[in-house]
Amino acid sequence: MIRFVPCRPGLAVARRPLRPTLLAALCALAVAPAWAQRSGADGEDVTTLDRLDVRGERSTGYAVEKTPAGTRLELAPRQIPQSVSVITRDRIDDQHLQSITDVLSNVTGISGSRSDSERYEFYARGFYIDNFQFDGIPTTMVQNWSYGDAALDLALYERVEVVRGATGLLTGAGNPSASVNLVRKRADSREPTGSVAVSVGRWGEVRTTADATTPLNASGSVRARAVASVHDTESHMERYEVRKTLGYATIEADLGEDTVLRVGYDYQKKEADDVTWGGFPLWYSDGTQTNYPVRFNPAADWTYWDTTVRRAFGSLEHGFGNGWRFKVNATRDETEAENKLFYPFYTIYGYDRETGGGVVPYSGYYRTERKVDGLDAYADGPFQAFGREHQLVTGASYNRREYVNNGTFDFPGPMDSYHDWTGAWPEPDWLPIAVQSYGTTTQKAVYGAARLSLADPLTLILGARHTRWENENWEGGLTSFREFKETTPYAGLVYDIDDTWSAYASYTDIFQPQDAKDASGSYLDPVVGKSYEAGVKAAWFDDRLNASLAIFRIEQDNLAQDTGELRPGTNEPIYVAARGTVSEGFDLELTGELSPGWNATFGASHYTARDADDASINTQLPRTTLKLFTGYTPQGAWNALTVGGGVNWQNRTYDHDATYGTFQQDAYALVGLFARYRFAPELSVQLNLDNLFDKRYYAQFNGGYGAWGRPRSGTITLTYSF
């Protein structure tokens, strides 16, 4: 498929995988009518070109030339003093990644943990990831009241950018884990182009996706893009099935040579039936482990979990002739979820191995709503000082999240036996739904960062964000209000060893408000996550291949610690601020084009994370992971064929239960393969095989509950492009 990229605002050229010199030549040809002619001293014609202001990054292959991740400045990966991973559209397609869960499961240094069939929490460097962005606008996602965030479909996104460590400069409040930015597809073609793909897979999976871009006027200065997807599948877990529907539309208009307006809307709906809440029991009351078949579903047959997400967004970008740019982004997010759930609660007496007794069904009926308004405006560009050119970005951000959680519950007596469970259990006669909690969280911030050229090989990035954070919450009949003002610093030093290698060191932090109070009844200051990182980076073949090695240390300060005392005249415990978790480790990543037609990514990560009592935390997560994926297209006669595959390996994990002891899962690897054959430039077929050796493993084990991971599966995808 031919893509178009801007040579300057309002100007585009056709693009296939090109060398930078060829791309520059095409840009020059595109603006040839604007050239001015003059004669040289000896009479020959000398051509003077208008200035071309090229922004953006190449999206072919597995690597990008530049990204704003981390600082908002458009930099090459080796110029960013933090660990950054970018999952490009080419890799998404090769690996047949369909949801944000699929992507994060394949990112270096990130591990996941399930709570049930619908909620998947991700962690980096031992800390929970709660900071997500859409086109750079930050938002917070939490899974305790699930809004379907883990199931977001990737059909409408061009790439996913992940920055590991503390990311407070651009995201505001959160954990010192990572920030995930989902970048939407743009209407970037001045000619009609698009594709239709149909996938079929195991367990009755059928997925159809259409993606089309077209100009709306003769010059192509106004363009539209639409994406639609329908996904219907059952599962290795009996009775469970999911239906997903997605619609996305965006319009881009060149308001002048240097101004671009973009508006859009996306809609995603997920309907899941026979969903789990928790999982099956890992232990019998006699201390022996259960051994359920992979197909076992602990849910009742009337359960469901439906979510609907609607997002409207817009942006306006204006480029000034001196290299400066101003951009404003706005978004409105409305999410609704409704679910009826069945939780097989195992009493303190345990699940009896012989009789099947000891299980008390606990059911819930919930309706939740979330509304998020976001606005971000910034300006960036070069400036001169002390005889050198530097870069500056400065901006302001606003984010408001309103939520209301409604529900009702049913907690009958114990069932006779959980043996031979089939899901046949009567649906409760529900009591009226009532409000369980509601609230509003608002963040207002200003931020800025400067990239200072101290010498030809040495640059210093200094930045800060000042945030005013407010939360008003009602839960359990109690109303609370918290307000904090925090300044978040950013500092990074990059030394270019030569044209390939660079070394860096950085300090970043992030704050996380907490609701614990001290002896006076005042809220404790937010937890501060301090992230120290140092490493080396490299780029080869005109930035088509990037590598990084980072060592890091993350420290938590001001974490609430219970003193064991109550505040006089109340039942509220007294907390004091103390040192929290300390995480140390390293990340290694190599991503890009190893040789013409051969793309690959390899990531290795290891860390240790211990709390103030020197105890390991989140032990159900692997401490060491290796992730490899590659795709190869031969040159010459066999260039219609692409083959590849990958492997994800993790070390031993465990979870300790005070009653039954330690549940352990040995190290394991999941292997995948893919092959694609292009019958013609417009038509291709692709085969993806996952968990090739049918490894049996637990995707969930915590709190005494478990769930099996997905066994061997495969999909065949037929794609027609035009």
Q: What pLDDT is attached to residue 382?
A: 97
Pairing of strands 478-496, 501-512: antiparallel
Q: What pLDDT is attached to residue 656?
A: 85
Q: Give first-to-last CA distance, the chain, whole Å.
A: 7
Burial of 341 (0-12, 13-18, 19+ CB in 10 A): buried
Inside any domain, residue 40: no
Q: What pLDDT is attached to residue 490?
A: 97
Number of domains forming the structure of the chain: 1
Mean pLDDT of residues grouped by 10 in the chain (722 residues)?
Answer: 34 33 33 35 42 46 94 95 97 96 96 91 94 90 71 93 96 94 96 97 97 96 98 96 97 96 97 94 89 95 96 97 94 96 79 88 94 96 95 97 94 87 94 94 97 97 97 89 95 97 97 90 92 97 95 94 85 88 97 96 97 90 98 94 98 86 93 97 97 96 90 98 94
Region of residue 204 (left: phi > 0; alpha: psi -120 to 50; beta: else): left
How many Å apart are CA 415 and CA 363, to the nearest integer?
13
Tokens representing residue 471 in the block? 């939360």
Inside any domain, residue 31: no
How many Å apart are CA 364 and CA 379, to the nearest integer?
48
Residue whose tokens read 């490899």: 628
Query: Is residue 275 classed as helix, strand or coil in its secondary structure?
Result: coil
What is the domain-level CATH number for residue 701?
A: 2.40.170.20
CB distance 168 to 510 below 8 Å: yes
**Domain of 325, in residue numbers:** 77-721
668 backbone dihedrals φ, ψ, rounded to 5°: -155, 165
Inside any domain, residue 262: yes
CB distance 535 to 504 below 8 Å: yes
Residue whose tokens read 């409408």: 156
Inside any domain, residue 9: no
Q: What pLDDT is attached to residue 145?
A: 66
Inside any domain, residue 62: no
Computed on alpha carbons and rounded to an integer, the radius of gyration of the chain in Å comes to 27
- Residue from 301, 304, 300 nearest 342 by CA: 300
Tokens representing residue 605 in the block? 């990560």
Inside any domain, residue 104: yes
DSSP-assigned states of every residue in 461-483? EEEEEEEEEEEEEEETTEEEEEE
- Residue from 527, 517, 534, 515 nearest 555 by CA: 527
Query: Is residue 22 classed as helix, strand or coil in its secondary structure?
Result: helix
Inside any domain, residue 197: yes
Inside any domain, residue 120: yes
